[in-house]
Amino acid sequence: MEITVVGTGYVGLVTGVCFAEVGYNVTCFDIDVNKIGRLAEGRCPIYEPGLEEMLQKNLAEGRLHFTSDSKAVCSKSDYIFITVGTPENEDGSANLEYLEAAVADIGANLCKDAVIVIKSTVPVGTNERIYKMLQDIIHCDVQVKVISNPEFLREGSGIRDTFHADRIVIGADDYEAGRAVARLYEPFERPVVQTDIRSAELIKYASNAFLATKISFINEIANLCEHTGANIEDVAKGMGMDQRIGSQFLKAGIGYGGSCFPKDTKALEKMTEDYGYDFKILRSVIEVNSRQKQQLFYKAKEMLGSLRGKRVAVLGSAFKPHTDDIREAPSIELIAQLIEEQADISVYDPAATEKVEELFGSRLYYAETVDAAIKGADIVFIMTEWPEITQYDLARFRLFMREPVIFDGRNCYSLVEAESAGLTYVSVGRMSVNVNSYIDCLEL
Ligand code: UDX
């Protein structure tokens, strides 16, 4: 059995390496020759805990291969998984350019029967379009099937999510071809949901949109907590214990970021618009999230007035911990606003510093530790709940800052601890601590 994975981005690499790990012979294909060269030497281009080790092991054991030669892979593959990106177009729709180019390349080179499995997130109807496209391009006498198999991996826990997936979704108009793809997943021993092709495409968008809805909902409840004096953590705990609601994705904060939720919610919104349907909840979810991303900055402005010339430390810039991804990260918007305010900014992130530097260059000071970032700072913004930040000794804020004022967008510390450490501490959906005494001291 020969499996090919087209596109060595995050999803493609994790998928290819995990298929090799359970014993298949896997070839990962990419048009980026340099990337393929590095991968063939066992160097992983993305930050994903455990991936490089597993990649090296499977390379050494001879089950994993890397190539840029599409002719060669098309002449031997039984299953071709397409995992290329579908980024956001300006109007919010999914850009299918890379997918179409990959399909055209496969179609032009395919000379044996194959099952094409689309893992890329695509609007409903795309798999059918791809099937038709292949029929037009393929010139050999071969049988080709197109199966939808969306993925639900989270960055930072992709391997774990593959081996412990809640479900494998397979959409097929040809039932037997769908079953064959389901059998490929048997070594993972996970439940399979097999549907028609359009339902599978929609399961992916609906799942991401639902999770985004949970986040925007709990963020709205957090804002309401601030008005009413309730505590969001207690409220979320009390809600989450109801099994019909579930405790996951009820963590209030400064909004969702990353490469999926922002892009997929917008693509779904655009798709529903194209169908002439007004998906009201989804529109609100997106709007609430963009407002939430600004929240911490406006809280600081409201409390402190101008931030001009203030020394500000931003702790965490990745969109979540255990990744170096800063796409749509709330920190990026905050840093841009702070630059506009002419604040003096230092940033700390255990993994994403290089990427932040590519964006902002010499306008920021890039600290290698939390200590170095907060030294002499007037204000701290916590944007990502890395363990280095959540487990930071609160006494050190007092040690390194004159009057520590912390705006915590991830509710990293308990109110009691923040209070006894003498911090002026503003978080999300919880009472603010020592704020009044700080303001009194400013006014004196
Ligand atoms: C998500 C989906 O979880 C995954 O199934 C899909 O395949 C890709 O998109 P990912 O973007 O890697 O995965 O990260 P995830 O852990 O879901 O977090 C997304 C964003 O939501 C982060 O910015 C995170 O901070 C935020 N979030 C998550 C919250 O603000 N509160 C929560 O309770 C959970």
Name the one residue in this structure whose structure tokens are 């170096």.
324
What's the 322 CA to ligand 1 centre distance in angstroms? 12
Which ligand 1 atom is nearest residue 156's CA?
12
C-alpha span between 64 and 83 (Å, rounded): 17
Amino acid of residue 157: S
Average pLDDT for 244-266: 97
Amino acid of residue 84: V
Start-to-end CA span in the chain (Å): 76
The per-residue pLDDT for range 114-130, each reduced to its tens digit, is 999 999 999 999 999 99
Domain for residue 166, yes or no?
Answer: yes
Kindly state the tokens that stand for 118. 């689309």
Average pLDDT for 181-186: 98
Number of residues that this document lists for the chain: 444
Q: How confident is the model at residue 374 (pLDDT cuts 50, 70, 90)?
A: very high
Tally of structural domains, the chain: 2
Amino acid of residue 278: D
Active-site residue (options: 28, 225, 260, 412): 260
C-alpha span between 384 and 390 (Å, rounded): 9
* Residue 28 C-alpha from the chain's centroid: 22
Final residue in a domain of this structure, among 195, 217, 235: 195
Ligand 1, residues 48, 251, 256: which to mutate, most atoms within 8 A of Cβ? 256
Average pLDDT, the chain: 96
Buried-state track 288-299, b at ≥16 Cβ within 10 A, e below 16? bbeebbbbbbeb
Domain for residue 211, yes or no?
Answer: no
Give residue 439's pLDDT.
82
Find out whether 29 and 73 touch, Cβ atoms under 8 Å.
Answer: yes
Give residue 1's pLDDT.
86
Same domain for 186 and 297, yes or no, is no
C-alpha span between 35 and 41 (Å, rounded): 10
Going by the DSSP 8-state scheme, the letter that residue 264 receives in this structure is H
Domain for residue 378, yes or no?
Answer: yes
The per-residue pLDDT for range 139-170, each reduced to its tens digit, is 889 999 999 999 999 999 999 999 999 999 99
Q: Give the CATH number for residue 165.
A: 3.40.50.720
Amino acid of residue 225: C
Which ligand 1 atom is nearest residue 264's CA?
9
Phi-psi region of 23 (alpha: psi -120 to 50; beta: other; left: phi over 0): left
Instruction: Give the DSSP H or E segment for 24.
Output: none
What's the 140 CA to ligand 1 centre distance in angstroms? 43
Amino acid of residue 9: G
Domain for residue 247, yes or no?
Answer: no
Domain for residue 278, yes or no?
Answer: no
Active site residue 260: yes
C-alpha span between 399 and 366 (Å, rounded): 20
Q: How confident is the model at residue 442 (pLDDT cuts 50, 70, 90)?
A: confident
The per-residue pLDDT for range 203-234, each reduced to its tens digit, is 999 999 999 999 999 999 999 999 999 999 99
Kindly state the tokens that stand for 21. 């790990």
Average pLDDT for 178-197: 98
Distances (CA, A) of 391 to 386, 408, 413: 8, 14, 9
Q: Report whether pLDDT(443) > 80.
A: no
Average pLDDT for 4-29: 97
Which protein residue has the closest C-alpha to ligand 1 atom 28?
Answer: 249
C-alpha span between 267 and 272 (Å, rounded): 9
Q: Report whether pLDDT(44) > 90.
A: yes
For the chain, percent of residues with pLDDT exceeding 90: 95
Amino acid of residue 262: P
Q: Please, which residues have CB within 8 angstroms of residue 190's CB and are 6 or more apart in sequence?
A: 164, 165, 166, 167, 168
Give residue 124's pLDDT.
97
Domain for residue 266, yes or no?
Answer: no
Give residue 402's pLDDT.
86
Which protein residue has the closest C-alpha to ligand 1 atom 3?
Answer: 154
Structural domain containing residue 344: 288-443
Same domain for 29 and 149, yes or no, is yes
Give residue 441's pLDDT.
80
Q: How confident is the model at residue 367 (pLDDT cuts 50, 70, 90)?
A: very high
Average pLDDT for 263-276: 96
**To 10 degrees, what angle do helices 353-360 and 330-340 make?**
40
The reply, when asked if residue 252 is annotated as ligand binding, is: yes
Which ligand 1 atom is nearest residue 219's CA?
30
Give residue 438's pLDDT.
83
C-alpha span between 33 and 389 (Å, rounded): 38
Domain for residue 274, yes or no?
Answer: no
- The residues lining ligand 1, judged by C-beta closer than 6 Å to any ligand atom, are 151-155, 208, 211, 215, 249-251, 253, 256-258, 260-261, 319-320
Name the one residue in this structure whose structure tokens are 């804020």.
397
